[in-house]
Amino acid sequence: VRKDSGQGIALEEAKPKLQHPPMYKVVMLNDDYTPMDFVVQVLQRFFHHPREKAVQIMLQIHTQGRGVAGVFPAEIAETKTAQVNSYARQHQHPLLTVMEKT
């Protein structure tokens, strides 16, 4: 049987290789100055968490030093990270978000 392996027609059977994109955590870091309510609003606005979940994540960051806002493919994680850091700077808050390979 001639089968398309995804890299051209192979003469032998090939196992289908489904590629999962590498995923990245968008990690939010604690600081002493960003207001709690601003962090909650960021988690709702940029990560679409319901308010209760956003409060839970914010408190995790506040007590543990860091927390995961979400997990996304590289390009989306980069966009979210840049958007959140830019938004925080526009509002003159030091809130910092970084991405980290899962």
By C-beta, is 66 or 76 nearer to ligand TYC?
A: 66
Considering only the stretches 22-30, 47-55, 73-81, 82-90, report the one whose residues sit in contact with ligand TYC under the rule CB under 6 A.
22-30
The answer to whether 36 contacts ligand TYC (rule: CB under 6 A) is yes
Residues 6 or more apart in contact with residue 17 via CB below 8 angstroms: 5, 6
The answer to whether 30 contacts ligand TYC (rule: CB under 6 A) is yes
Sheet holding 96-101: strands in order across?
A: 66-73, 23-29, 96-101
The answer to whether 58 contacts ligand TYC (rule: CB under 6 A) is yes
Alpha helix segments (H runs only) across the chain:
36-47, 51-64, 74-90
Footprint of ligand TYC on this chain (CB under 6 A)?
28-32, 34-36, 39, 58, 61-62, 95
